[in-house]
Each structure stands twice: as structure tokens, then as C-alpha cells.
Amino acid sequence: MLKIENLHATVAGKPILNGLTLTVPTGEVHAIMGPNGAGKSTLSYVLGGRPGYEVTAGSVAFEGRDLLVLEPHERAAAGLFLGFQYPVEIPGVSSLQFVREALNSQRRARGEKELSGAEFIRLAKAEAAALGMDPEMLKRPVHLGFSGGEKKRSEMVQMGIMTPKLAILDETDSGLDIDALKAVGAGINRIMRAPDKAVLLITHYQRLLDYVKPDRVHVLSGGRITRSGGPELAHELEREGYVEVAA
């Protein structure tokens, strides 16, 4: 589904990604682990199309299409979902309004019928219930005043409504307590564990991988993948640390 070859990228003129190569097949969950400053968030932003992140070499193919020529909204309509380490707050815009507009915009781009207000409300309530989130919270401005765990649950609700093909989740476990971690892990499995979907899960720690079992684990260090392996690699990182394993 996702094929990255020799990707180089800079931020404010500073090289961050330095020849990163990675393939994520359809139907699989791949985890990326690495120390601070390794380029994990930069990779997610480059794939999402965030302005200010300049690709200087390499290629990214998503279902055979050149991802890098697409605008961020075109990437979303094609089926890419980016979950943020620190979800932004949007005062004055309710979560229901925000997600409904986003969903119907994507459906229009794909030539699909828009959901009516009633259809969307039913879908949103069902997804909120599945994540253990009070549906009343969806009436509040996007993430405004939410705790860290509530923000991550809200993003999982958004992902469940959007039903993307590829989810890129940047440190989704950041700031979560045990109960929220279990809920988010269950949400990822329920929404994205399917033969026609894939997940790129970026994390510092093994703990989320206890709930979302990855097919492959990759070590990102110095802007490139330095090692890959099975789930046991995450446990090795937890024991030995990045200095010993990432080289």
C-alpha cells in the first residue's frame, strides 16, 4: 500500500530524513520506533503534506500513485489519515460540524453520496460509543478543553468515521493513562485491522504495541531506517535502549 524509497526531506533548510526506505503492505500494521529527533514526526508530516517540509529526493507511492504530487486534502480523499501527537484545538467549530464537513468533502471528491445530518449523527454516536466517549463531547469545539486522553479518543472517533485506507498515527499513545491506552488500542484494531487497510504506528514505547500487535517493527535513527524485525524488536529496544539497538 505504501512504498517509500530513498526519501530525503528538510525542515527550514535542515536535513531531517536522509534516505529513508520503507514498505507497508496492505493488511499490515508497521511500527516505527526511535529516539527523539530521529525524524519520526517529520516522516508523518511529509506523508500528510504539511507545509514547510520539503522533499529533496526520493519517492512515495500510495496504492501505486505518486503521493508527493497530491495536496493534503487530496491525500485525505485518497484514503490517508494522519493522527497527531498533539491534536490541535479549533475554537468555535464543533467536532460534529468539523468531521461532517471533512467526511462529506472527501465523499464528494470520490464521487460518493454525502451523508445527511441524521445519517452522520447516527454514525458519530456509534463511533463515540465504541471508543467509550460521551457523544455529548462531540458538540464541543474541536478538542477545546479536552484532556490528553480525550483528544486521542476524539481522533480515534474521527478515524472511525472517515474509515481511511492508511492510518499514520504519530505517537498516539502520548499522554494516555492505562484505560485510555487500552481504549485507543482497541479502536485502532477495530477500525484498521482489515485486509484492505494498513497502519503506520509511530511510537517511543513498547506499551501501545501490547494492544496493537505489529507485523513489523522498524528503528528510525538519523533520518533513516537502521533496523527492521518482528514484534520482538520492540522488546529488545525496551531492554537495551536506542543507543545499543539503533546503530
Look at residue 133 and tell me if it is in a domain: no
Q: Are 212 and 44 in contact (CB under 8 A)?
A: no
Q: Please tell me the predicted confidence (pLDDT) of residue 180.
A: 82
Of 223, 245, 235, 237, the closest CA to residue 39 belongs to 223
Residue carrying the nine cell digits 524485525: 229
CA distances to 50, 129, 170, 186 from 28, rounded to whole Å, are: 25, 26, 17, 16
The pLDDT tens digits of the residues spanning 217-228 come to 999 999 999 999
The pLDDT tens digits of the residues spanning 65-114 come to 999 999 999 999 999 999 988 888 899 999 999 999 999 999 999 999 99
Q: What share of the chain has pLDDT > 70, as a percent?
A: 98
On the CB side of 22, CA atoms within 13 Å amount to 32
Look at residue 14 and tell me if it is in a domain: yes
Q: Residue 109: what residue type?
A: A
Residue carrying the nine cell digits 514505547: 205
Do you know the residue count of the chain?
247
Look at residue 191 and tell me if it is in a domain: yes
Look at residue 231 and tell me if it is in a domain: yes
The pLDDT tens digits of the residues spanning 12-53 come to 999 999 999 999 999 999 999 988 888 999 999 999 999 999
- The total of structural domains in the chain comes to 1
Look at residue 219 and tell me if it is in a domain: yes
**Gap between the terminal Cα atoms of the chain:** 28
Non-local (6+) Cβ contacts of 188 within 8 A are 29, 156, 167, 169, 172, 199, 201, 211, 212
Look at residue 114 and tell me if it is in a domain: no
What mean pLDDT is predicted for residues 231-243? 86
The pLDDT tens digits of the residues spanning 107-163 come to 999 999 999 999 999 999 999 998 888 888 889 999 988 888 888 888 999 999 999
Look at residue 106 and tell me if it is in a domain: no
CB-count burial class (<10 Å; 0-12, 13-18, 19+) for 204: middle
Q: Is the CA virtual torsion 65, 230, 7, 12 positive or negative?
A: positive
Q: Domain of 65? A: 2-92+165-245
Look at residue 111 and tell me if it is in a domain: no
Q: Are 215 and 189 in contact (CB under 8 A)?
A: no
Look up the CATH number of the domain holding residue 22.
3.40.50.300
